[in-house]
Chain A
Amino acid sequence: MPTPNDQMPKQPSAISHQPSAIGHLPSAVRLPRLLPPALIESLVTILIGLVAGGLLMLPFGYNPLKAYQALFQGAFGSSTDIMETLAFATPLMLTAITFAVGVRAGLFNIGAEGQMYLGAVGAAFIAGALRLPPGLHGAAATVFAMLCGALWSVVPALLKVWRGVHEVISTIMFNWIAFNLSIYLAIYYLAEPGRAERTRPALETARYPILTEGTTLTAVILVAIAFCVAVYLYLWGTRAGYELRLVGENPEAARYAGVRAGNALLLSFLIGGLAAGLAGASQIIGRPPAWSLYATLGNVVTLGFDGLGVALVGRNHPIGGVFAAILFGALAHGGRYMEYHAGVISELVRAINGLIVLTLAVPEIWAMARRRLRR
């Protein structure tokens, strides 16, 4: 699209500081502007996603209304369920940060998966092998895990800054290295004596307290939300955050403004690594009943990649990601109920969830594609 001088104003997007794609959703245009356009857009896409999922159920003879009722009740029906939903959401809002902060700097950083593994290994090491006083122990495990995640992002970051190696390639490779390295470390150095299938469980002193007995939600969610808020404040409230977003938005204007793009990219990788490391820690010292890393990495695997979808649904915004993560948590936790109570087979539950996520991600994918094309 050419952008001549007398182009007419488009709707400003309140949350994400991005051009809104609302012009492409005629149904949303008529709504009064009580809500930010981006939010209206997300609500409309949720509706479309649910309808699409419902259509998918029909040929298999399921009743979509009953299934969704089960889904909703499963996710939010009782306070226990809400807690469970939030427990599922915790790591996702963090791995979403990794991707979102990358996008804000113009990167396509999909290294959250590997950085998250390393964070989990780091947390398992401090929490299971060291003896420290309560409080300090948990803090040390958390910080160390975050540093492990950040460290794992340094090599792709430097390859990008120094040699121009595309981050998609390098982070995929580093995800695989992390996968095998983590399994190796878990089995050979951190395994629980006599039980090689998992690492030594985190000592009591290192564990985050469970918020409500009978659920798996721990205080680590507060740390996660605080981290998301901190990233938001950093990106929109500091010079470095401004410069990082400027590099992502318009690299040439950033150069004109005297920004060293390399520093901004490195920063983006590091913030992403810290977030992913924290996500890994949250599953070791903040998620019963395991309190440890399975040697197969079974209790953490795909959390990093899921964050990518969460980030897209959350419009690559740290706070949007929190809400998107809760939605993902609801689908994950409530999806089980759809299986038990509405009898929907699990494969279809996953297909429906996937469909909803896909629909939700469309507006942001569209916006990102347009930004890329415009360059």
Chain B
Amino acid sequence: MNTKPSIEMRAIHKIYPDGTVALRGVDFHLHPGEIVGLLGENGAGKTTLMKILSGLLRPTRGEIHVNGQPMHFRNPSDALQSGIGMVHQAFALVPPYTGLQNILLGQEAAGPLSLLQLEAAQKKVTALVGETGLMVPLDVPIELLPIGVQQRVEIVKTLYRGTSILILDEPTSALTPLEIPELFQFLKRLKESGKSIVFITHKLKEVLEISDRIVVLRNGEVMGEIPTAQATPEKLAEMMVGRAVVPRVGRAAKPVGDPVLTVHNLQVMSDTGTLAVKALSFEVRAGEIFGVAGVEGNGQSELVQALTGLRPLKSGEVALDHTGLEHPNPIEFYQQGICHIPEDKARFGLALNFDVAENSILSRQWEPDFLSGLDRLNWDNILAFARQLVDRFNVVTPGIRTVVRSLSGGNQQKLLVGRELSKQPRLVIAVHPTRGLDIASTVYIRELLVKMRDEGKGVLLISADLDEILELGDRIAVMYEGTFIGMGKADELSREEIGLMMGGIAPKGRTYANAQ
């Protein structure tokens, strides 16, 4: 690359007010028209570095130069003025507003009293959507859209503000496998038009596929910088975690047992009053991982909620070991031996402002082990249990009375997964269990799921990460528009076949009837 860098960050240090050192002298530069992959585990400092570049955080020391000029961004608008925009992992969208209203937010009109130029804006947004190929529904409230679609709205929103440098924080973690190539195509198109892109990720395959250059961060320092053409997954993984990572999870070859979960003709309504799950029948047997792949928003959330007591069944039957379950209370389900790793840990599975000990009994607060007379909490047992969870599941935390919000995402998830798996369940329902986690935590959690399977428990795995499904699933079903468009044994299904099914094309001879 011969052009001068448009962005130069020099010797950036960041020390948080509580003394945590996030960055220790990081140099980073970015040329026009290149895609840089910023690789690193959780806590490596990737997000902190990019928050500094996008004006959300101020560096403790260090300089930022834009086109050779030193800049001091006081806030994200300053950075936006320099054409730098960031799409965060947690989206800054107003839930009841439509896609269009969210995209226009803050840019609606010239002054406080001028009228909304909705029609013109809609044209502009529609043009932008057509140009980039990022399809977003403009007139549906954001809260009704799946996370993947919400992210697309975020990207369009950032582009609408005229950014020339787009920072994407773990953009694929919310996307379905089918959407990822779409995103990549569109990123390449943006690159050709001269925009630069920083792609924060910990997924080796993606960074190899999309980037021109890869910068690896570890523990707040740059561990290496390498043109993508010269990079190999092994090399990157080593730079990233400092040791070789083996992504395959071994498993015992055991015959599967009896059905643990039997679902017959299940129908479930969505929040919008449409039929989200349509006449679904399947079973999960003891000692198998039943993987459900599929583009998000095809009824997976509603299915899981129906199977965990969070949403009433419209019709059909759900039976655990042939005992029918009908009560809409989750505790009833837990008592029957179902444990649930929910799709959004911060929303459903944890109370972030509660401490580790309090979170270790969330959804288990009714269990006699944690109570003494008069329904008092048995703190001795709770603290001992929390300590044991933290030890057994490698949760890195300053203490068990530490507020969970201050743990990293990986450690939050390990706490949640540990809590659920230690329920001694008969059926594990895991939804996107490794979303947004670093490699080490991901491998660890996947191994735990396989261990549950080897111990003879049924595992229902719902994931938008096709690799995860392929890696873990004994049988795989693909969910499309509320039903299983196809189902089969893992070794009988090819990646391509699954991809087709996710797009709604059922291959001949693989209807789900013959896969039971």
Interface residues, chain A, with chain B CB atoms under 8 Å away: 2-13, 17-19, 22-23, 26, 29, 236-243, 245-246, 249-250, 252-253, 255-258, 260, 371
Q: When the two chains form the complex, which single residue of B20, B48, B362 contacts A253, counting CB atoms closer than 8 Å?
A: B362
> Which residues of A sit under 8 angstroms from B401, Cβ to Cβ?
12
Query: In the assembled complex, how far is the CB of residue B395 from the closest CB belonging to chain A, in whole angstroms?
Result: 14
| Interface contact A7-B408, CB-CB below 8 Å | yes
Given contacts A2-B92, A5-B410, A257-B362, contact A10 B403 (CB under 8 A): yes
In the complex, per-residue mask of B357-377: 1 if CB is within 8 Å of any chain A CB, else 0: 010011101100001001111
The answer to whether A19 touches B405, judged by C-beta atoms less than 8 angstroms apart, is yes
Q: A246 to B363, alpha carbons, bound, how many Å?
A: 10
Mask, B79-108, CB within 8 Å of A = 1, is: 000000000111110000000000000000
B45 smallest CB distance to A (angstroms): 7
- Residue B265 lies at the interface, judged by CB distance under 8 Å to chain A: no
Q: Is B365 a contact of A242 with CB atoms below 8 Å?
A: yes
Q: Do B330 and A258 touch (CB < 8 A)?
A: yes
Q: How far is the CB of B4 from chain A (nearest CB, A)?
A: 31
Q: Is the CB of B403 within 8 A of A17?
A: yes
Let me know if A9 and B376 touch, CB within 8 A: no
* B residues near A22, Cβ cutoff 8 Å: 17
| Centre residue among A7, A8, A9 by max chain B CB count within 10 A | A8
Give the nearest-CB partner of A10 in chain B.
B406
Q: How far is the CA of A243 from the CA of B358 in the complex (A)?
A: 11
| CB of A247 to closest CB in B, whole Å | 10
Contacts of B402 in A (CB 8 A): 9, 12
Cross-chain contact of B365 among A3, A236, A257 (Cβ < 8 A): A257
- Contact flags B400-443 to A (C-beta < 8 A → 1, else 0): 01110111111000000000000000000000000011100000
Chain A residues contacting B410 (CB-CB under 8 Å) are 5
Residues from chain A with a CB closer than 8 A to the CB of B398 are: 9
Counting CB contacts under 8 A, is B346 at the interface?
A: yes
Given contacts A3-B346, A5-B89, A8-B16, contact A256 B45 (CB under 8 A): no
Q: How far is the CB of A103 from chain B (nearest CB, A)?
A: 13
Encode contact with A along B373-401: 1 for CB under 8 Å, 0 otherwise. Answer: 01111010000000000000000001001
For B329, the closest partner residue in chain A by CB is: A258
Pick the contact of A8 from B18, B353, B358, B363 — CB < 8 Å?
A: B18
CA–CA, A256 to B301, complex, Å? 13
Q: Is the CB of A10 within 8 A of B375?
A: no
- Which B residues are in CB contact (< 8 Å) with A5? 42-43, 47, 89, 408-410, 436-438
Are A237 and B377 interface neighbours, CB within 8 A? yes
- Are A238 and B377 in contact, CB atoms less than 8 angstroms apart? yes
Starting from the known contacts A2-B88, A9-B402, A252-B347, 14 additional A-B residue pairs (CB-CB under 8 Å) come to A2-B92, A3-B405, A4-B88, A4-B89, A5-B436, A7-B47, A8-B20, A8-B406, A17-B358, A17-B403, A237-B379, A250-B347, A256-B363, A257-B365
For chain B, the count of residues having a C-beta within 8 Å of the partner chain is 64
Task: Flag if B334 contacts A9 (CB, 8 Å).
Answer: no
**Which residues of A sit under 8 angstroms from B365, Cβ to Cβ?**
239, 242-243, 246, 257
User: What is the bound-complex CA distance between A2 and B168, given in angstroms?
Assistant: 13
A262 to chain B, nearest CB (A): 13
> A2 CA to B331 CA in the complex, in Å?
32
Chain A residues whose CB sits within 8 angstroms of the CB of B346 once the complex forms: 3
Task: Give the shortest distance, in Å, between B212 (CB) and chain A (any CB).
Answer: 24
B351 near A249 with CB under 8 A, answer: yes
Enumerate chain A residues within 8 angstroms of B309, measured Cβ to Cβ. Answer: 258
Residue of A nearest to B18 (CB): A11
CB neighbours (8 Å) of A255 from chain B are 310, 330, 348
> Which 5 residue pairs across A and B have the least CB separation, nearest first?
A5-B409, A258-B331, A9-B406, A2-B88, A2-B90
Contact partner of B89 (CB less than 8 A), chosen from A2, A12, A253, is A2
Interface residues of B (CB under 8 A from A): 16-18, 20, 22, 42-48, 88-92, 169-170, 308-310, 329-332, 334, 340, 342, 346-355, 358, 361-363, 365-366, 371, 374-377, 379, 398, 401-403, 405-410, 436-438
Determine whether the beta carbon of B403 is less than 8 Å from that of A4.
no
A249 in contact with B403 (CB, 8 Å): no
Q: Which residue of A has the minimal Cβ distance to B340?
A: A256
**A238 pairs with B375, CB closer than 8 A:** yes
Which one of B45, B91, B329, B349 contacts A6 once the chains associate, using CB atoms below 8 Å?
B45
A19 to B361 CA separation, bound complex (whole angstroms): 20
Which residue of B is nearest A22, CB measured? B17
Task: Find chain A residues with CB under 8 A from B340 CB.
Answer: 256
Q: Which residues of B contact A246 (CB under 8 A)?
A: 351, 354, 362, 365
Partner of B354, one of A17, A237, A240: A17
Q: Which residue of B lies closest to A255 (CB)?
A: B310
Complex CA gap A243/B370 in Å reads: 13
Provide the residues of chain B in CB contact with A250, threshold 8 Å: 347, 350-352
- List 29 A-B residue pairs with CB atoms under 8 Å apart, sorted by A's residue number: A3-B346, A3-B405, A4-B90, A5-B47, A6-B22, A9-B402, A10-B406, A12-B355, A13-B403, A17-B355, A17-B403, A19-B403, A238-B377, A239-B365, A242-B358, A242-B361, A242-B377, A245-B354, A246-B365, A250-B347, A250-B352, A255-B310, A255-B348, A256-B349, A257-B362, A257-B365, A258-B331, A258-B332, A258-B334
Give the nearest-CB partner of A29 in chain B.
B17
Q: Which of A7, A239, A253 contacts B351 (CB 8 A)?
A: A253
Chain A residues closer than 8 Å to B405, beta-carbon distance: 3, 10, 19
B48 touches A6 (CB 8 A): yes
CB pair B363–A6 under 8 Å, yes or no, is no
> What are the residues of chain A within 8 A of B43 when measuring CB–CB?
5-6
Which of chain A's residues have a CB closer than 8 A to the CB of B348? 252-253, 255-256
Q: A249 and B354: CB pair below 8 A?
A: yes
CA distance A29 to B375 in the complex (A): 40
Q: With A12-B403, A17-B355 in contact, do A256 and B377 touch (Cβ < 8 Å)?
A: no
State the Cβ distance, A31 to closest chain B Cβ, in Å.
12
User: In angstroms, how far is the closest chain A Cβ from the Cβ of B427?
Assistant: 16
- Bound-state CA distance A47–B117 (Å) is 50
Nearest-Cβ distance from residue B48 to partner chain A, whole angstroms: 7
Are A238's CB and B374's CB within 8 A? yes
Q: Decide if A371 touches B376 in the complex (CB within 8 Å).
A: no
Tell me if B44 and A6 are in contact (CB < 8 A): yes
**Cross-chain contact A3 with B330 (CB below 8 angstroms):** no
How far apart are B52's CB and chain A's nearest CB, in angstroms?
13
- Residues in A with CB closer than 8 Å to B352 are 3, 250
CA distance A154 to B406 in the complex (A): 38
Q: In the complex the two chains form, what is the Cα distance from A101 to B373 in whole Å?
A: 23
Q: Which residues of the other chain, B, contact A11 by a CB distance below 8 angstroms?
A: 18
Tell me whether B353 and A19 are in contact (CB under 8 A): yes
A140 to B16 Cα, complex, angstroms: 56
CA separation between A3 and B352, bound complex, in Å?
11
User: In whole angstroms, what is the CA distance A23 to B405 when docked?
Assistant: 15
Q: Complex: how many Å from CA A193 to CA B366?
A: 55
Distance in angstroms from A52 CB to nearest chain B CB is 25
B362 touches A239 (CB 8 A): no
Complex interface: chain B residues within 8 A of A17 (CB): 353-355, 358, 403
**How many Å lie between the Cα of A256 and that of B366 in the bound state?**
13
Report how far A256 CA is from B437 CA in the complex, Å.
Answer: 22
